[in-house]
Every structure is written in C-alpha cells, then in structure tokens.
Chains A and B, each alone.
Chain A
Amino acid sequence: MSDLLEARGVSRSFGGLQVTCDVNFKLAAGDRVALIGPNGAGKTTLVNLITGDIVPSGGQFFMGGDEITNLSIPDRVRRGLVRTFQTTRLFANLTVADNVALAIMQRKRITRRFFSRSTELPEVRAEWSEILSHLGLDHLAYRRVVELAYGQQRLIELAIGLALHPKVLLLDEPAAGVPHDEAPKILDAINRLPADIAVLMIEHDMDLVFKFAKRVLVLAAGRLIFEGSPDAVTADHEVRRAYLGSYADARRAT
C-alpha cells in the first residue's frame, strides 16, 4: 500500500532565508507522528507547505502515490488532507453547529443548494450532533463561537477536522493556549481519532508528544535532523544540541 502522504526533498526559501531545506518524510495509515523542534525551526512553514498555503521552491508532495504539489488548498482538502490551526480560526460569528455543519455540507457537496435548509437538514444534523457529543460539546451547539472559552474553541477545531473525514490530519499545536486542566480533554479527543487516519501533530509540549506519538520528527533550522521513537529522541545527542543551542541563543538575545 502506498503512503498516504509523502514529502520528497521539499525546500522553501523566503528571499535569501532557507526556511525549509530538503525535507523528506512519509505518513502511512494509522500513523501517529509528532513534529517537534525549537522555536523558529520552520514547523508552521512546513505545515503551510503541506496544505498548499505556501508553494515550495523545490521538491514534491504526494498523496497515495499522486503528486499534489501544484494542487490548490481546496483540492487538497477534498483529497482528505485536513489541518487545524495553531491559533483558532473558526467562523466566529456562527454557531458551533453551523461551524461543523459547514464542514459536513462541504464534504457532502451540498453547499450549492440555494433554498434548502442547511444546519438542520436531517442527514447533516445527525452527523454534527454525533461529532459534538463525541467531543462533549453538545450542550454548546447553538452558542456562537465567539462566546466560548478558548479550550472549547480548540475542540471545535478538532470537530471541524473530524467532520471533513480526513485521511491525513495535521494538528498545529492543538493544546496551545489551553488552560492546563483542560489539556487532557484535548488529548483524549486526539486519542479517540479514527484509527485508520494518519495524524501529524506539531507540538511544543513534550508531555503531550510522549503520550501521543509513536514516531517523532525533529526539525531544526528547516532540516529534519532526526526521526525515531519518542524514547530515542531524548537520548539523541544532536536533538539535545539543537534544542539547547536555540535556548542558549535565546538567552543571549534577552
């Protein structure tokens, strides 16, 4: 079986600055991979490259053997490449139900209907109410997103991701900014993601990485410097140097 997502020699520079440099990796069905690296290592740039938000200067992406390097963002989503955002990006003035329903309707190709009901369509409603119950958000269905706490908004990001039936799900710091006591809820939701999808999580919180990942990719200065099990990461000399080095730089700067 071919890999769900593959990056081959992907590079990207902004002006003279090489932000991503010859990145290669593969994600297969059921993978739970964490992407870690010091601040400024280019993690979010890599996610933006994968989703098509930024065009690579070199290299290719493949999904299930087909090249997707030149596909638009919506085309990639339709192939099952879905992301969540580091800072929540939701339809803030719509209700929670509307947010999830829009993703469902888009997947089902019914957002070109001009006069039918939308969120309350039976087949749409059944699905979003199941997703919201699954994440424990059902009591918030008819609240507007702006009125909700940040931790709840992070869960809605996940709900939208789930509603799109992803094959590959990119989670960009899913627990960033979430109060500590709410982080387990996010982890719980992530652990209950469908087993057959590939998940790539970008995360700073090493606790979360160890609880989640079976494989870890380490990015430093735009290069993948390590790939292996979580235990091997902590033992690796180069990884420690990359982290310590950046901490030392940061301390010198302040």
Chain B
Amino acid sequence: MSEIVVTHVPHKRNIPFGQEAAGALSIIALGAIGYFLYPDDLAFLTRLIGIAFLVLSLDLVTGYCGVATLGHAAQFGVGAYAAGIACVRGITDPVALLAVGVFAGTIMGLISGALITRFRGLPQLVLSIAVGQLVAALANKLSWLTGGSDGLSGITPGKVFGIFSFDMYSRTAFLFSLGVLVIVFVLLQRFVRSPFGLMCRGIKDDDLRARMIGVSIYPRLVLMYGVAGAVAGVGGALTAISTGVVGLDSVSFERSAEVLVMLVLGGAGHLWGALAGTIIFMIFEHIVAAANPFHWMTLVGLLLILIVVFAPRGLIEPMLSLTSRLRRKGSAA
C-alpha cells in the first residue's frame, strides 16, 4: 500500500466534553425538579438513586457485555453491608464509607465475574442465581456480623465533608447521592466509549470475531464485572448511609430480578436507558403501590407487557431514533 491515499471521511462534529456536560446537567436538572417540587419524597428519591447505581452496574455487564445475570444484587448488598458494618464499627465519614462500599463491591464483582463469565447462556444464568443466593444465605447466617434477618441497624454516619449532617428530611442524603450519581455517570459515559468499553460491546456482538482479532475475552469480562461491582457498591453504600439500615432485601433474588426488569424497561446497552428504567419503574411502583397496595404488582406486570410488545428494546430506543431523525432533518435543512 504505497500509493498516496486521500482520506475523505469527514470528522464528526464533537464538542469536547459536550456529552459529559450534557449528562451532568440533565441529572442535576432532574434532581432539582425532585428537590424543589417533591420535598416530602426525598427519602424515596434517595432510595431511587441508590437503585439507579445497581441498574447502571447491571447495564455494564448485561447491556454492554451480554452477560445474563439474575444475581446482581449480590454486589449491591455486599457494598451496603460492608459500608454498614464499617460505620457500626467506627468509620463514620460518609466519603470513607463510600470507599469501603466501592472496595467491597469491586471484590465481589471480580469474584462473581470470575465464576459467571466462564460460562455462556443458561449455565451462566443459573450460576448467577447461585452466586446471588449464596451471598443472601451468608448475609442471613452471619447474623453476628450482618444482623441476620433483623437487618443491620444503628448506622449513623457523620457529617459530609465534616459540614453537612444527615437530616430527617433526607435533604443531605439526597444531595450527596445526587452529587455522587453525577460523578459516576460522567465517568461511565467516558468509560463505555473508551477502547475497553467499545471492545466489550464488540464481544457482546460476536465473541468469536473478537477472539479472531486477538482479544482474550475472559479477563476482559472479569474486569468489567469488577467495574460493575464498584458501581453497585457505590449504590449499596449510599443506601446504607442514607437509610441507616441494611436488610436482607438488599441481597435478595427479588432485588436482582427487579433491577433486570428496570433495565429492560429503560433499554439495555444505554446508560440513559438504565437511568430512565429506574426512574419510571420506581415512580410507577411508588404511586401505584400507594394507591392500591394489593394489586400494584398486577399493574406493573401489565406495564411491562405493554412495553415489551411496543418497545421491545426499551423505552430509550424510540427516543433515540426520534432524536437521530430530528438531527438528520436538521442537517438536511
């Protein structure tokens, strides 16, 4: 190939950090709406943000790598328990507790990933359930450490940065969680576009093709699981800090299944899909469960059927195709 080649591919129009800024601003705007319009629901919204981390984490392994898992709450729960136990044993600084949650979540992620990504398809799914159940059983049995079925209580974190103490209206907890979400989300936006993130999407599309360009798949998937574990650990730690308790529900099978539903609802393989799914599912559940505590699951089921029938790739997909169509129209005009 010695001939002179003229390249014609035009550069994509790219504002540096434009996407990251847009992501951060959108989350802050959504947070502001919650903070100012629903000041009585901040505890619920804080819980929502905690779960959002878990759904984002699940998106990393399921949406970006194609790993099927029904045991993802393990990472979240281990992060929550680790932060809770650390707090009860005397580490009360919220930022330090977050670090504990991230560390524990990462370790749990690496262990789960090392087991689960060895296999594909149904064995993988069953193994993920097994890992999830094992962690749930341990959380129940080690009651001297975790509080067992009574849950771990008495988590009283100190002030954020030594200034803002946690109040009963959850204002501090909400703003703290929102701030962490903005940071993590922006980092994830960079991460999924990085060479590593792109390669994971490639592996999801066709793993034999990936091996045939020289990629060793297994270590990559384990690494991705570690990152996902860190993100889930953040969510777990935040939930422990803001609610003051960690219960068995945080490692339960139901939690794992619920977040998978949220991800499918919003659209796997998009960070915004994960976020949208969490917001829609949890607000829907919150409203419907309050209005009709006996039949709310029926309504959630109906909502899911509708979405799977009319938007099988999640709610984010129609929105994305709409914006790309508008953009095309805009550039044509």
In the assembled complex, the CB of B324 is this many whole angstroms from the nearest CB of chain A, namely 11
Q: Which of B9, B11, B196 has the most CB of A within 10 A?
A: B9
In the assembled complex, the Cα of A47 lies from the Cα of B214 at a distance in Å of 16
Residues of A within 8 A of B196 (CB): 111-114
Residues of B within 8 A of A178 (CB): none
| Residue pair A134, B5 in contact (C-beta under 8 Å) | yes
Residues of A within 8 A of B215 (CB): 74, 106, 111
In the assembled complex, the CB of B160 is this many whole angstroms from the nearest CB of chain A, namely 26
In the assembled complex, the Cα of A83 lies from the Cα of B212 at a distance in Å of 7
Q: A93-B201, A194-B1 are in contact. Are A139 and B206 (CB under 8 A)?
A: no
User: A54 in the interface, Cβ–Cβ < 8 Å?
Assistant: no
User: A103 in the interface, Cβ–Cβ < 8 Å?
Assistant: yes
Listed stretches B102-110, B187-195, B241-249; interface member: B187-195
Residue in A closest to B190 when the chains form the complex, CB atoms: A115
| Residue pair A93, B205 in contact (C-beta under 8 Å) | yes
In the assembled complex, the CB of B7 is this many whole angstroms from the nearest CB of chain A, namely 4
In the assembled complex, the Cα of A60 lies from the Cα of B206 at a distance in Å of 28
Q: Which of B190, B201, B206, B209 has the most CB of A within 10 A?
A: B209
In the assembled complex, the Cα of A113 lies from the Cα of B5 at a distance in Å of 29
In the assembled complex, the Cα of A31 lies from the Cα of B93 at a distance in Å of 67
In the assembled complex, the Cα of A129 lies from the Cα of B214 at a distance in Å of 21
| Cβ 8 A contact of B214, one of A77, A90, A93, A97 | A77
| Cβ 8 A contact of A115, one of B194, B198, B208 | B194
In the assembled complex, the CB of A158 is this many whole angstroms from the nearest CB of chain B, namely 13
In the assembled complex, the CB of A111 is this many whole angstroms from the nearest CB of chain B, namely 4
Residues of A within 8 A of B95 (CB): none
Residue in B closest to A124 when the chains form the complex, CB atoms: B195
| Residue pair A106, B6 in contact (C-beta under 8 Å) | no
Q: A115-B187, A129-B9 are in contact. Are A164 and B199 (CB under 8 A)?
A: no
Residues of B within 8 A of A129 (CB): 7-9
User: B211 in the interface, Cβ–Cβ < 8 Å?
Assistant: yes
Interface string of A17-29 (1 = CB under 8 A from B): 0000000000000
| Residue pair A130, B212 in contact (C-beta under 8 Å) | no
User: B216 in the interface, Cβ–Cβ < 8 Å?
Assistant: yes
| Residue pair A102, B199 in contact (C-beta under 8 Å) | yes
In the assembled complex, the Cα of A118 lies from the Cα of B201 at a distance in Å of 13
In the assembled complex, the Cα of A150 lies from the Cα of B324 at a distance in Å of 25
Residues of B within 8 A of A113 (CB): 194-196
| Residue pair B213, A106 in contact (C-beta under 8 Å) | yes
| Residue pair B202, A133 in contact (C-beta under 8 Å) | no
Residue in A closest to B216 when the chains form the complex, CB atoms: A74
In the assembled complex, the Cα of A114 lies from the Cα of B209 at a distance in Å of 22
User: B14 in the interface, Cβ–Cβ < 8 Å?
Assistant: yes
In the assembled complex, the CB of B267 is this many whole angstroms from the nearest CB of chain A, namely 13
Residues of B within 8 A of A99 (CB): 202
| Residue pair B9, A73 in contact (C-beta under 8 Å) | no
| Residue pair A91, B5 in contact (C-beta under 8 Å) | no
In the assembled complex, the CB of A174 is this many whole angstroms from the nearest CB of chain B, namely 15
| Cβ 8 A contact of A89, one of B193, B194, B195, B209 | B209
User: B328 in the interface, Cβ–Cβ < 8 Å?
Assistant: no
Interface string of A90-119 (1 = CB under 8 A from B): 111110011101110111001111111111
| Residue pair A102, B213 in contact (C-beta under 8 Å) | yes
Q: A132-B9, A138-B8, A192-B1 are in contact. Are A94 and B202 (CB under 8 A)?
A: yes
User: A142 in the interface, Cβ–Cβ < 8 Å?
Assistant: yes
In the assembled complex, the Cα of A105 lies from the Cα of B199 at a distance in Å of 9
Residues of B within 8 A of A90 (CB): 205-206, 209
User: A69 in the interface, Cβ–Cβ < 8 Å?
Assistant: no
Residues of B within 8 A of A114 (CB): 190-191, 194, 196-197
| Residue pair A133, B206 in contact (C-beta under 8 Å) | no
User: A3 in the interface, Cβ–Cβ < 8 Å?
Assistant: no
User: B12 in the interface, Cβ–Cβ < 8 Å?
Assistant: yes
Residue in B closest to A134 when the chains form the complex, CB atoms: B5
In the assembled complex, the Cα of A192 lies from the Cα of B2 at a distance in Å of 10
A–B complex contacts, Cβ < 8 Å, 7 sampled: A73-B211, A73-B212, A91-B205, A119-B198, A120-B12, A126-B7, A164-B213
Residues of chain B at the chain A interface (Cβ within 8 Å):
1, 5-9, 11-12, 14, 187, 190-191, 193-199, 201-202, 205-206, 208-216
Across the A-B interface, give the 8 residue pairs with the lowest CB-CB distance, nearest first. A77-B214, A129-B7, A91-B205, A111-B195, A89-B209, A129-B9, A118-B195, A91-B202
